[in-house]
Amino acid sequence: MHSEDSVSGITADLSHMIGLPENELIHRGLVSFIEKEIRLAEADIADLIDRYNVALKEDLYEAIKSKKMPSHPAWEDYIVWKNKEKYINDLKVRLGRVR
């Protein structure tokens, strides 16, 4: 973990080097981080869509409930999918606040 002094020092150095105010540099970094997290979570969901050949998490749920698909590890993946969607929605709210 970086110490507060080293992070603030690097921020100041980088700000000076690229000619951006520190607060703008931090703002852009925060936006980029949130956007990347959204992309990664969306990629995880895309993997589940491919793995189970379904379009929606509800389709996966129905396939599990109707025993068209083995429940393990599908239940765990269904929960992961729900959590990823919530994470994406939470990140989008925060992204809207920082933009």
**pLDDT 10s digits, 24-58:** 999 999 999 999 999 999 999 999 999 999 999 99
Q: What pLDDT was estimated at residue 46?
A: 99
Average pLDDT rounded to a whole number, residues 76-85? 99
d(CA 19, CA 11): 12
| Residue 96 predicted with pLDDT over 70 | yes
Q: What pLDDT was estimated at residue 1?
A: 59
Band (16; pLDDT cuts 50, 70, 90): very high
ω into residue 73 within 30 of 0, thus cis?
Answer: yes
* Residues shown for the chain: 99
Residues 6+ apart with CB under 8 A from 80: 44, 48
pTM of the model: 0.89
The CB density around residue 78, as the number of other CB atoms within 10 Å, is 20
d(CA 77, CA 64): 11
Q: What pLDDT was estimated at residue 5?
A: 73
